[in-house]
Amino acid sequence: MTTRHFRHTLAATAAALCALTLAGCGGGNGEPPPQTGGNVVTPAAPVVTITNNISGETATGTITFTFSFNRDVGTSFTADDITVTGGTKGAFTRTSSTSATLEVVPAAGGTGTVTVSVAAGAVTDAVGTANAAATASKAFNTVAPPPATGTVELANFDTVTPAVVAGFEGAEGSAIETGPAGGGTGRSFKVLRSGGQPYALGIIETAVPITATRRTLTAQVYSPTAGIRMVIKVENAANPGINSGEVEANEAVVAGWQTLTWTFSGADPAQSYGKIVLLPNLGTVDAAPGKAYYFDALTLSEAAPAPTTGTVLANFDDVSPTAAVGFEGAEGSAVETGPAGGGSGRSFKVLRSGGQPYALGIIETALPITATRRTISAQVFSPTAGIRMVIKLENAANPGINTGEVEANEAVVAGWQTLTWTFTGADPAQSYGKIVLLPNLGTVDAAPGKAYYFDTITLLAAAGGGGSGGSGGGSSGPLTFSTGFAGSNRTVEGGEFGGFSGSNLDNFGCGAPASCGSGGEFTPAQTAANSFFFYYYQTPTPATDLYMGIYVQAPGVVGGFSPTADTAGVQVGSQTTLRFKLGQNIEWFNSGTNNFMIVMDLGKRYTVGGNACRLQLRRVVTPTAQPATDYAIPLSSFALVQDCAGAVTSVAQALAASPISQIAFQGVGGGIALSDGSRTSGANRSVAVGGVYPTTVVLQGGITID
């Protein structure tokens, strides 16, 4: 219609001119000359460009949008011509006949997108040509920033609802709904696991403002099954490689509602975290129709200051419990002076003579268990080596509230020794007032019986029990983990070394179609400092998931870790730096994923859920050169990725509590790449040579800690 109207206007104008000057119009009949198609003039519509004043990706307050026209629209453009969603119109200012601004205030206390639009035909230029439509958007986040300290409520699904909740890998039926009776604050996030993967999961997208001290997550949780693994991981919103590692609840899981806590000691406060990954019953597939797990009242809180020393619960001299008695065949138990060679004076003798195989002694005293203080130590005398030395903690009034039976972390010897017990099943929300001593549990000590002595019973500080000693003894001088490589897969100091590898192509065990191998030069043919060991793994096509590496065990340690006792190692004292010399193959070094990873496994054995657990530290390193190069890595830069249910909460506590028994240097890439919270590990999956994709690591000389 615009074009036709415009042609009519031109024709009328021409007719008027011809009426005055007929000769000039080419004829005397008063009619204008005919117009050909080539003479039609179609005016361009005014075009508006919309910009805003926010340079970042997300606005946190008022947004000023600028509307710039490519031609004069006079005063025809007003605030009424602008449609706004996701916010409220503010001041409108016409800065010229081709430009105007509008302030838009995003919705308060939330996240979303502000959209402004100008409809087609809303504005006209000087000759009446209407504008073309235009739209622009800007993301906003007006949620108040979390306080620098103190508790932050992350989600309660009633008044504090995260931007996104969803389920994956068999948990697609997850949703926000009212949970079972008996817990929760109203609505909860139900993670419905039905078939799928053993890691079927739910994800909550919300800011998790972790700081150096605020790293404990608390939630009300409903589980249909007791004794399962309840695991959470926090991730960067954009890069899942930046994460805390998988962390198990500090408490044992019961059936029904309970309050659980997770301590993210491996999270880097310098990173930002925007996803909470919920992994209930991790490692198990919940068969259809599935099982529902509910999460509510998620909060992030400061860790309580850990006491610098342990709390003595009973030493039977100046700290005496309310009661100390025996039952079920241990009625002859009493407080008396113990055998020579240990104890601090008087001790509690549990005399087991006949009776039941669970003949026991009970000490009544308050036990201030917390999420990070759950390890008890005691000086113990046993007349027999290799027996079970079990303790259980109970509520003073209700024995049904208890930790379960926990065996000592250490193997029992004949005579005096210091033993520790880690009560991962203790609920800090409960109170405990009884220590149930069950020496030689499962066996009847025939008359005249056997006497077991307990003294200096202490609830340890947050660092957990002590280390198991080992080389170095926590001294301040340089520590030698190894000086070089000898034959028969032993270091000069007698520790075992070797390689390992696998990928999705060979079911994660080196074999066809992949291949692996190792070699090197060893003492005495080569000096220790120049001795080296290399290990390679190569695939004919790029692997989706790949791991490989070299492990080196502490002096004298061979055959891996003891399944029942602590493993020896190098005990760090005031030392701060790990030193070694490492090289890579040129293909891996030149790939875009050349970061290698150091994993330190500590020797102290903890028991978590009836299973052995050892502390683990991780550091991902970006290589500085391809040939064997000296590296000096601060111990403080490692991440604590396995804390054995809160036995320790920091790298420093871990190194104080346990010796280092094994150090591995690894390439881990693809979907199984790992993070230390700052960097992500890699392997060669992109650079081929001779028709294969090789990843090789070489260690030269020794490993020291100084």
Model pLDDT, residue 306: 40
CA distance 501 to 534: 13
pLDDT digits (tens, 9 = 90+) for 259-303: 888 988 778 888 989 999 999 999 999 999 999 999 999 999 875
Q: Of 144, 181, 326, 314, give the one whose Cα is nearest residue 257.
A: 181
The average pLDDT across 503-512 equals 90
The average pLDDT across 521-550 equals 92
Which H helix or E strand runs over 581? strand 577-584
Contact criterion met (CB below 8 Å) for 255 and 224: yes
Strands of the sheet containing 247-248, edge to edge, are 164-168, 201-205, 275-280, 230-235, 247-248
Confidence of residue 19 (pLDDT cuts 50, 70, 90): very low
Model pLDDT, residue 197: 95
CA distance 553 to 509: 21
Which H helix or E strand runs over 481? strand 479-482
Model pLDDT, residue 224: 93
Supply the pTM of this predicted model: 0.39
- Residue with the larger pLDDT of the pair 560 and 38: 560
Strands of the sheet containing 497-503, edge to edge, are 497-503, 545-553, 660-670, 596-602, 616-621, 639-642
CA distance 161 to 1: 52
The average pLDDT across 441-449 equals 94
The sign of the dihedral angle between the CA atoms of 619, 624, 625, 626 is positive
Q: Helix or strand or coil: residue 310? A: coil
| Mean per-residue pLDDT of the chain | 85
> Side chain identity at 594, as an amino acid letter?
N
Share of the chain above pLDDT 90, in %: 51
CA distance 398 to 28: 120
Q: Of 271, 240, 85, 77, give the one whose Cα is nearest residue 168.
A: 240
438-to-361, 362, 382, 385, 470 alpha-carbon distances in Å: 7, 9, 12, 15, 29
Model pLDDT, residue 138: 94
* pLDDT of 383 above 80: yes
The average pLDDT across 335-350 equals 87
| CA 230 centroid distance within chain | 14
* pLDDT of 17 above 90: no
Confidence of residue 342 (pLDDT cuts 50, 70, 90): confident
CB atoms within 10 A of CB 337: 12
Contact criterion met (CB below 8 Å) for 671 and 481: no
Model pLDDT, residue 43: 60
Give me the residue label for tokens 């100390």: 324
The average pLDDT across 418-438 equals 88
DSSP string, 425-466: T--TTS-EEEEEEEETTT----TT-EEEEEEEEEE--TT-S-
Model pLDDT, residue 470: 37
Give me the residue label for tokens 């995003």: 106
Contacts of 546 (CB under 8 A, 6+ apart): 501, 502, 503, 504, 537, 539, 667, 668, 669, 670, 672, 683, 685, 695
Query: How many CA atoms lie less than 13 Å away from 189 in the CB half-sphere?
Result: 31
pLDDT digits (tens, 9 = 90+) for 302-330: 754 443 346 788 889 878 888 899 999 99
